Amino acid sequence: MFGFIFRRLLWMIPSFFAVTVVAFVIIQLPPGDFVTSYAADLATSGSPADSATLDALRVRYGLDQPMVVQYLTWVGNAFRGDLGMSFEYRSPVASIIWDRLGMTTLVAFCTLAFVWLVAFPVGIFSAVKQYSIGDYAVTFLSFLGMATPSFLLALVVMYLSVEFLGYSVGGLFSPEQVNAPWSWAKVIDLLGHLWIPVVVLGVAGIAALVRIMRANLLDELGKPYVETGRAKGLPEATLILRYPTRVALNPFISTVGWVLPVLVSGDVIVSSVLSLPTSGPILIQALKTQDMYLGGALIMFQCVLVLIGTLLSDILLAFVDPRIRYDN
């Protein structure tokens, strides 16, 4: 088991490098660079910069180097904890994103927990009561949930909570707490606000997972070992939870790998709408202005989350399913 985890950790290293290359290439894909968009900004504000100044800027930021050199510098610096300077904010990337990454992680994991807690029992219900009115209702709501864009849902929830709950729903804190130091009051305030993004982000995930759980369980419910359990005299509820659900859980667990990144990327637009202090809004901004170090760091972070999610689901799966061999 430990050997297995160790090997999986080793595999993460090449995966991580592959991911940084992809992140870097994505950042470089749009034509031009930060200087071009900076020049365009200057031009629209009526004071165009001459090309000598722009070239000097390029040299200063290392943008005149070939792409491979730029990549190696970037990765090399990143390993020393230096994620580069943001062109836009003119301050180190690390200091900009640190708080926001924490918030993103918090929101993502809360949402994941929420998604599982809801999807699991609802999925079981939907499968066991297949073709009942309850199942049809769940199915209808699931498709509705999958089809509704989360930013639209965010707007609806914002409207409803302002209208009926009298909340300030923008952000994760009330205005008076935003800049306050951490305290119990701030944590409670956070929890009061956190549920909105968690629900908004969770709905699509819940809908998808309910369908997955239902399909998995329906596959298992007809298996002979369920009949064996019934012939033993097991009560129906115990039977379903202990046997088919246990087996159907395995594909469910492997969804962590992709649910986590979906949540984080879904967060980009939703957090702009809800103006959350997460990494989403600044990622959009960084991509628009081609602020390559800031954008690259954020994309890299998302990729790392994917890697962690996959690792988590692999380890959980190996833990839960005795049929998985660790050594092969």
Indicate which single residue of 234, 284, 304, 316 sits in contact with other proteins (rule: CB under 8 A): 234
Q: Which is nearer to other proteins, 3 or 66 (CB)?
A: 3
H-helix or E-strand spanning residue 18: helix 2-28
Q: What's at 159, amino acid-wise?
A: Y
Identify which of 91, 111, 78 has the alpha carbon closest to the alpha carbon of residue 196: 111
Binding mask 203-232 for other proteins (x = CB under 8 A): -------------------xxxx-xxxxxx
Report residue 282 as tokens.
């600044």
Contact between 125 and other proteins by CB under 8 A: the answer reads no
Q: How far is the CB of 306 from other proteins (least distance, A)?
A: 21
Q: Which is nearer to other proteins, 181 or 322 (CB)?
A: 322
Q: Which is nearer to other proteins, 44 or 328 (CB)?
A: 328
Q: HSE on the CB side for 205, CA within 13 Å?
A: 32
Q: Which is nearer to other proteins, 223 or 288 (CB)?
A: 223
For the segment 281-320, give every residue that binds other proteins (CB under 8 A). Answer: 320
Distance CA 322, CA 301 (A): 33
Q: How far is the CB of 19 from other proteins (least distance, A)?
A: 19
Contact between 235 and other proteins by CB under 8 A: the answer reads yes
Contact between 3 and other proteins by CB under 8 A: the answer reads yes
Identify which of 258, 242, 245, 264 has the alpha carbon closest to the alpha carbon of residue 120: 245
Q: How far is the CB of 295 from other proteins (least distance, A)?
A: 33
| From 6-14, 78-86, 201-209, 266-274, span contacting other proteins (CB under 8 A) | 6-14
Ordered alpha helix ranges (H), 167-322 = 184-221, 224-232, 236-242, 244-253, 256-273, 279-288, 292-320
Q: Which is nearer to other proteins, 77 or 228 (CB)?
A: 228
**Contact by Cβ (8 Å): 194, 110:** yes
Q: How far is the CB of 192 from other proteins (least distance, A)?
A: 41
Distance CA 213, CA 314 (A): 18
Nearby residues of 127 by Cβ (< 8 Å), 6 or more positions away: 213, 214, 215, 216, 217, 218, 221
Binding mask 236-265 for other proteins (x = CB under 8 A): x------x--xx------------------
| From 31-39, 113-121, 177-185, 234-242, span contacting other proteins (CB under 8 A) | 234-242
**Contact by Cβ (8 Å): 248, 217:** yes
Q: Which residues bind other proteins (CB under 8 A)?
A: 3, 7, 10-11, 222-225, 227-236, 243, 246-247, 320-323, 327-328
